Chains A and B, each alone.
Chain A
Amino acid sequence: MSKEDISRRQFLNYTLTGVGGFMAAGMLMPMVRFAIDPILEKGASQDMVAVTEVSKIGKEPKRFNFKIKQKDGWYESEVTQSAWVYKNGKGELIALSPVCKHLGCTIDWNTDPAHPNQFYCPCHGGRYEKDGTNIKGTPPLAPLDVYDSQVKDGKLYLGKAKPRKGA
């Protein structure tokens, strides 16, 4: 019995502190987690989506489709979006949104015979330069939105389309 230099009272004290500590931690942890949750949350920015291989992009704007997840109330669905992508003179990749800034029709590249090499909106004849700038005298009042873009491992990733200031 000489080895036991711990009394019954001490033993109970230790166990109770231990168990109590766990219980307190069990209660506090979720509370702390809730309190700091907004900090841990990922940025609201939409995830980037792989669209195409960079090698497929040329100087002429080309239309690429890609899918994003869209939440509509409780219902999550995949929505197809498209982008007009090309390389500009400096070799940068430009990805333009195909949605006309006038009333939201879908624009097309080089389809108006009278005005070649422009984006053309079939609804009200809105036109944009290759870089997306709206042409004065046509209905749109702002340049086309530009997608956030990123190149990784030879692939082009696109994020959200962001508006630019009017010309």
Chain B
Amino acid sequence: MKWSSGDITVYQQSKEFVDTAIIPLLPLSFGASIRTSASMADYATLIGEETERQLHGRLFLLPPFTYLMEEDSETLMFRLHSWVKELKDEGLRHVYFLTSDPGWKKREQELGETLLWMPVIPMETMDADYREEIVKEQVKQLFQVILHKWQES
């Protein structure tokens, strides 16, 4: 499901079937890393959307959690944890962070939830078919992680 009024209606009717949330973590930065942060956003968004399309009925793709690359890490963690708390209270047991920002990989331990870190692949020069194929392949791998967690629970 996506964060859109149509999907929310379905969500409210079948809450018990939806137990997984994905939060895309998208960095924002002007200056030297402006291009990097934009392609990170592109990539994570594509991956997130494809995953949502395949697992529409059980997975909630949330609006992206955006932050400045220079943002103070204390406040950043605090903000993120309050998102997670809200989701857990809502009954979404599995929370995943989806990002291409390597900054999160270093702090994976502090996150408390599963980090799906996909190193960014620059896609702006690829043709559409090839891009689609790559995204599909990547999403397949993500599936393994998510499905495995589901089978455990």
8 Å CB contact of A124 from B10, B17, B147: B17
On chain B, the residues within 8 Å of A121 by CB distance are 57
Interface of chain A, helix or strand or loop or mixed? loop
Contacts A103-B10, A103-B14, A103-B17: A122 and B55 contacting too (C-beta < 8 A)?
yes
Name the CB-closest residue of B to A100. Answer: B57
The answer to whether B55 touches A105 (Cβ under 8 A) is yes
Does A155 interact with chain B (Cβ within 8 Å)? no
On chain B, the residues within 8 Å of A124 by CB distance are 17, 57-58
The answer to whether A105 touches B54 (Cβ under 8 A) is yes
Name the CB-closest residue of B to A105. Answer: B57
Chain A interfacial residues counted at CB < 8 A: 13
Contacts A103-B10, A103-B17: A123 and B132 contacting too (C-beta < 8 A)?
no
Interface of chain B, helix or strand or loop or mixed? helix
8 Å CB contact of A106 from B14, B18, B53, B128: B53
C-alpha gap A13/B36 in the complex (Å): 78
Does A104 interact with chain B (Cβ within 8 Å)? yes
The answer to whether B58 touches A123 (Cβ under 8 A) is yes
On chain A, the residues within 8 Å of B54 by CB distance are 105-106
C-alpha gap A138/B132 in the complex (Å): 32
Report A82-120 residues with CB < 8 Å from chain B CB.
100, 102-106
Does B81 interact with chain A (Cβ within 8 Å)? no
The answer to whether A103 touches B56 (Cβ under 8 A) is yes
The answer to whether B132 touches A102 (Cβ under 8 A) is no
Given contacts A105-B58, A122-B147, list 16 more A-B pairs with CB under 8 A.
A80-B132, A100-B57, A102-B17, A102-B57, A103-B17, A103-B56, A103-B57, A104-B57, A105-B57, A106-B53, A106-B55, A121-B57, A123-B55, A123-B56, A123-B58, A124-B57
Subset of 5 A-B contacts with CB under 8 Å? A102-B57, A105-B57, A106-B55, A106-B56, A122-B55
A interface, CB within 8 angstroms of B: 78, 80, 100, 102-106, 121-124, 139
